[in-house]
A and B are shown apart, each in its own frame.
Chain A
């Protein structure tokens, strides 16, 4: 893969869709753009097919804007609302069976390291809470135990949303959902803590209500997974459709949950990862001064 892949072959300029031409001319490939630059460049996703006001769609948009190396990134997705987004995304991506995403990403990362030993190839897993904490927890944790150099991002919408609203391991205790009318009997799984114990070098929880911080967290997670060890980011984006919130209130509801302490912004960086990130900052500062 290279930036050349996204260029238009000579003679085909007239027949290519306008969106593609715009992506080639004004896209983020090869540029150092981030969340703060949103609205000024052509994004990697054209339109999302999810519900109006979906915080998960917003989270994915922010993730895509934060990729440090979008032209050499492969995203592994899994079944769920998020999988409906990927056909519109202009980044290499693979859809895996429900729960298998970290096993697929492991194989992919190893193959890319063999095939392109001199190039940086980021492998990113983006999956929902069902694929990460319920059905795929086995594969997710085993990849952390093996210290695979991949970033796992969970879009925590707290419910199996696209199948009608069954409770998931990440639904909060007492949550009454369309297909869980008696309310959930046990609390949310503490996956960030499990990730830390399982060997992740970088673990963070964040929400799209803090877009710039989300961008920073995703970038740090990907950078740590290049050299140090696996990283895990949990993005809190509860489903407005299943929790029956007005779509315009989603971000406010997330902020309210943060105030109530149901969701906490947290970041764990291992000492090795901290030293590595500090080194990168020094290099960047030096480059800027030159």
Chain B
């Protein structure tokens, strides 16, 4: 795995902007029950769009 995406779930407000901004399907999913996003790093290409659009700065993308 070359890319690490960290989600600080306590910061996530469930707006789903990151999900709507990710060009790759199946990287980010919204957990209805817990009301926060979860990430599948295996599919991530590390573009960082999700971290840029997050209004709460809940996501951090690192690696290459």
| A residues with CB within 8 A of B | 35-36, 38-40, 43, 45-48, 50, 52-55, 57-58, 61-62, 208, 211-212, 246-252
Given A58-B22, A251-B21, A252-B52: A53 touches B47 (CB 8 Å cut-off): yes
- Interface: B5 (CB within 8 A): no
Alpha-carbon separation in the docked complex, A117 to B13 (Å): 47
Interface size class of B (residues with CB under 8 A): 20 to 34
**Interface contact A248-B48, CB-CB below 8 Å:** yes
- Interface: B43 (CB within 8 A): yes
Q: How far is the CB of A165 from chain B (nearest CB, A)?
A: 19
**Interface contact A47-B21, CB-CB below 8 Å:** no
Q: How far is the CB of A206 from chain B (nearest CB, A)?
A: 14
**Interface contact B49-A251, CB-CB below 8 Å:** yes
| B residues with CB within 8 A of A | 16, 19-26, 28-30, 32, 37, 43, 45-49, 51-53, 61
Q: How far is the CB of A178 from chain B (nearest CB, A)?
A: 20
A-B contact list, 14 entries, CB within 8 Å: A38-B16, A39-B29, A40-B32, A52-B23, A53-B48, A54-B47, A61-B23, A61-B25, A62-B20, A247-B47, A248-B47, A248-B49, A248-B51, A251-B21
The residues of B that contact A252 with a CB separation of less than 8 Å are: 52
Alpha-carbon separation in the docked complex, A57 to B21 (Å): 10
The residues of A that contact B22 with a CB separation of less than 8 Å are: 58
Residue of B21, B25, B46 most packed against chain A (CB within 10 A)? B25
The residues of A that contact B30 with a CB separation of less than 8 Å are: 39-40
**Interface contact B21-A38, CB-CB below 8 Å:** no
- Kindly identify which residue among A39, A46, A208, A251 contacts B28, using a CB–CB cutoff of 8 Å: A39
**Interface contact B23-A48, CB-CB below 8 Å:** yes
- Kindly identify which residue among B23, B37, B61 contacts A55, using a CB–CB cutoff of 8 Å: B23
